[in-house]
Structures are given as structure tokens and as C-alpha cells.
Amino acid sequence: MIIIDGQRSALQVANFENLEQIIEKIMADDYMSNRVVTDVLVNNELFSEIYPHQAEDVEASYIDQVEFRSVPAVEMAQSITLELYKVVTLMGKAGRQVADYFRRADDAEALEMYGDLLDVSRDFLSMVGVLRNEFAVDSVDDFEVSLEGLSNLFSEMIEIQENEDWILLADLLEYEYLPLVEKTKGIIAQLRESVKASIKRAKHA
């Protein structure tokens, strides 16, 4: 049995060789064109791939029931923008803390937090870029300036890190990184409004 968002599908598990074929068939359906799958349950247990194409190794003979749960893409985007605002706020706090650690010569603590800050910032930029292309039609220039500024700053910060000039790195964090992060908060707010407008248009379509 195959269930999609609470509704039993006419498709039969027995017509497929494995779970990957089922997933590909469901995702190709018009119903999923503007939706994001949040959960796949196999025999009432959440399925998540540990390695690429693991679903191909789950034979259909093992499956009694597979259930797909999804949400509209715009609703998912709205949830993501709320999370992004929390993330950018944490980026600001972490940036201040790292700069403070460097100024106090607490290099070990500073470098550990700095590494995490870079990882979070890269993921943040990647996600914002995806949402910008989809929803932020009214603020492209602001996005480009802010995102390019952060990207260029990362390159400069990495170079300074290699030279182990911690005071200069603290200065960059405090006087360049933090203002850019603060500006990005406003852009995220604009992005959230763009997503909200898309949801309204979808409801009235």
C-alpha cells in the first residue's frame, strides 16, 4: 500500500522492484511539482538514507506500506525564513564572542567557535541564495551586495587566519562581519515578506 498525504494511492508496491523506484515515481507526479517531501515512512518507520541510493537496496518484497508526507514548497520556504532569522541572530552573537576571545588572547576557544561560525555562515549563504532565486524578486540588488560582501569577507578572513593574525581577524569580525550580518537581517525580513506574498497568491490562484 502506498499513501500520499493521508490518501491511499492507486499505485501498488508490488509493481516496483524497490523503494527508490517508488520514490522516483511519486516525485515525478504532477501533485508533487510544487511540494516538498518531509517524511517517508516504510512499514510505519521513518526512512532516511545513510548512504546514496540506499532506497534502491530496500526491496519491494520487504515493504508492506510506504507513506509520503509533504508540504507546499512555499510553506516550507516560510518555515526556513523563520529559521534563517534565528541563525543570522546567532551569527551576530557568535561573531562578537569570537572577536572578544581573540582580543583576550584566548586563541583556542576563539578558533573552535570561529570554525563553527564559518560553517554556519556558509550554510546560511547557500540557503539564502536558493530562496533568493525563488522568491526575492524585489530585492535582488540588496541580496547581491550583501551576499557578495560576506563571501569576499570570508576569503579575506581565511587568508588572515592562515597568517595567524588574530587581532586583525577580530577587527574584521567586529567592524566588517557584524555590520554585514546586521544588514542581512533586514534582507531576511524582506525575503520572509516575499514568501508570504507567494503563499497569498497561491491561495487565491
Model confidence at 204, pLDDT cuts 50, 70, 90, reads low
Q: Are residues 54 and 133 in the same domain?
A: no
CATH assignment of the domain containing 193:
1.20.120
Domain-embedded: residue 70:
no
Domain-embedded: residue 34:
yes
Q: Are residues 160 and 197 in the same domain?
A: yes
Tell me the C-alpha distance between 143 and 184, whole Å: 8
Domain count, the chain: 2
Tell me the C-alpha distance between 105 and 58, whole Å: 53
Q: Are residues 7 and 85 in the same domain?
A: no
148 or 168, which is more confident: 168
What confidence tens digit (pLDDT) does each residue in 40-91 have? Answer: 999 999 998 888 889 999 999 999 999 999 988 777 777 787 788 888 888 8
Model confidence at 139, pLDDT cuts 50, 70, 90, reads low
Residues with Cβ within 8 Å of 91's Cβ and at least 6 positions away in sequence, in order, are 117, 120, 121, 124, 181
Task: Identify the CA nearest to 81 among candidates 166, 194, 198.
Answer: 194
Please tell me the pTM assigned to this model: 0.60
Tell me the C-alpha distance between 32 and 36, whole Å: 7
Q: Are residues 42 and 136 in the same domain?
A: no
Q: Are residues 43 and 18 in the same domain?
A: yes
Q: Are residues 81 and 59 in the same domain?
A: no
Mean pLDDT score across all residues of the chain:
85
54 or 203, which is more confident: 54
Looking at residue 8, its pLDDT comes to 95
User: How many residues appear in the chain?
Assistant: 205
Tell me the C-alpha distance between 115 and 129, whole Å: 21
